[in-house]
Amino acid sequence: MIQYSSHPMPHDFDVLIIGGFGHVGLPLGIVLADAGFTVALQDINQKIRPMIEAGQMPFMEHDAEPLLKKVIGKNLRCSTDIADIARAKTIVITIGTPVDEYLSPKTRPLFALADAMLPHLRDDHCLILRSTVYPGTTLALKRYLQQRGKQPHIANCPERIVQGFAIRELRELPQVIAGFSPEATACARGLFGKLGVETIEVEVEEAELTKLFLNAWRYMQFAAANQFYMIAAERGLDYDRVYRAMTHNYKRAKDLPRPGFAAGPCLFKDTMQLAAANRNQFLLGHAAMMVNEGLPAFLVTLLKQRGTMFAGTTVGVLGMAFKADIDDPREALSYKLVKLLRFEGAEVLCSDEYIRDPTFVSKEDLIKRAEVIVVGVPHSTYRSLVLPEGKVVVDLWNTFRS
């Protein structure tokens, strides 16, 4: 529980972040505290609180730990109780917004949170929804609170950082801000403006769509790259050669990503949220999902066609995180690949530089023992690895050649 001054104050802290121990909430809290705000982090996952209070990051986030050590216990504090929102001026919500088994957004957690906040919420609060949400969610939240007698100033300010680099990007990226009232917009402007970045003001639903379109666009770009790779590979061609021919000194193809597993906690589910919001009429989004989610099975089939007999073969999946140089396994397609390989009868070894899993082996051990090596994610440290002759290698990112 936060210790409060015995003297009455207008508020004990400027900002309280709900979901404050997560990948979005924690870096945001650190950066806001470093910018001079008094910040409280509130989260239902109290297991990691001692770690954060000791100045240790619970996950990889470049440049975060020195800053955390600098601000924790000073103007950044951990809260154990949702009642602490009563002591804050601004409340920022950064809880997860997953999709359910029908690929529709799970809305209950946000409204359950609204119920928990209700007794402590005031009309002079500024409530900023930062999580990525289904279009119309911010309005639905406003209506829900209003029907229960609360009318805080509400804004939507979607988070756009790339995971792992939030500390840098929060101080660089323009912030999209959208309030239902001039007070809400001014509050969001005041908060994010202090980070020294541009602010872009739009309507609330425009802000929700901005974020969903960006993630769906990225997901579709990866799908285009993966589809091109599959077409070339099925024809027995080396896609790297085609990719180089397409992109070398040719500026219109500069933004074509490399093929590779595209999933993680955001791109897939946000593309599906957008589809759900559009009566499931999002042909490009669904096509992207089928291509990206189909890549692990495609690789298994390709290996079979090229002569790999999986039963009795040791296959190594090198890199398990959902993207390079972070420790996050959430929704990583490397796990889907491992499952398919085991189903085919292969003995599968997994390795990752950053994910701690006692079943994983070292990269050196994997390279020595596996007859087939599939790069699951191209962590930078893999670039210096030398593979022995005679291994079958699937390396969509060209990790070992560049």
- Indicate which single residue of 55, 62, 65, 96 sits in contact with ligand NAD (rule: CB under 6 A): 96
CB of 45 to ligand NAD, least distance (A): 4
Stretch that binds ligand NAD, among 13-21, 28-36, 62-70, 143-151 (CB under 6 A): 13-21
CB of 239 to ligand NAD, least distance (A): 28
Q: Does residue 273 interact with ligand NAD by CB under 6 A? A: no
| Span 207-266, contacts to ligand NAD by CB under 6 A | 265-266
CB of 237 to ligand NAD, least distance (A): 34
| Span 101-130, contacts to ligand NAD by CB under 6 A | 109, 113
| Span 15-44, contacts to ligand NAD by CB under 6 A | 18-19, 21-25, 42-44
Q: For residues 90 and 124, give the distance between their C-alpha atoms in angstroms, rounded to a whole number.
A: 9
Dihedral angle over CA of 205, 93, 273, 108, nearest 10: -110
Q: Rank residues 177 and 318 by Cβ distance to ligand NAD and give the closer one.
A: 177
CB of 44 to ligand NAD, least distance (A): 4
Structure tokens at 369: 């023992």
Q: Rank residues 42 and 308 by Cβ distance to ligand NAD and give the closer one.
A: 42
CB of 138 to ligand NAD, least distance (A): 12
Q: Rank residues 132 and 138 by Cβ distance to ligand NAD and give the closer one.
A: 132
Q: Rank residues 273 and 399 by Cβ distance to ligand NAD and give the closer one.
A: 273
Q: Rank residues 168 and 301 by Cβ distance to ligand NAD and give the closer one.
A: 168
Q: Does residue 190 interact with ligand NAD by CB under 6 A? A: no
The residue with tokens 């975060």 is: 64
CB of 135 to ligand NAD, least distance (A): 14
Q: Rank residues 52 and 315 by Cβ distance to ligand NAD and give the closer one.
A: 52
The residue with tokens 């042909």 is: 283
Q: Rank residues 32 and 233 by Cβ distance to ligand NAD and give the closer one.
A: 32
For 301-310, the CB contacts below 8 A with 24+ separation are 302/233, 302/234, 302/394, 303/372, 303/392, 303/394, 304/344, 306/392, 308/372, 308/392, 310/341, 310/344, 310/345, 310/346
Q: Which residues contact 70 (CB under 8 A, 6 or more apart)?
A: 34
| Span 149-168, contacts to ligand NAD by CB under 6 A | 159, 161, 163
Cα–Cα–Cα angle for 373, 375, 380, rounded to 5 degrees: 130
Q: For residues 196 and 174, give the distance between their C-alpha atoms in angstroms, rounded to a whole number.
A: 9
Q: For residues 99 and 285, give the distance between their C-alpha atoms in angstroms, rounded to a whole number.
A: 15
Q: For residues 6 and 8, give the distance between their C-alpha atoms in angstroms, rounded to a whole number.
A: 6
Q: Rank residues 132 and 351 by Cβ distance to ligand NAD and give the closer one.
A: 132
The Cα-based distances of 123 to 39, 152, 154, 177, 183 in angstroms read 20, 4, 10, 20, 11
Q: Which residues contact 202 (CB under 8 A, 6 or more apart)?
A: 176, 177, 178, 210
Q: For residues 128 and 39, give the distance between their C-alpha atoms in angstroms, rounded to a whole number.
A: 14
Q: Contact positions toward ligand NAD, by CB under 6 A?
A: 18-19, 21-25, 42-45, 94-97, 109, 113, 131-132, 159, 161, 163, 265-266
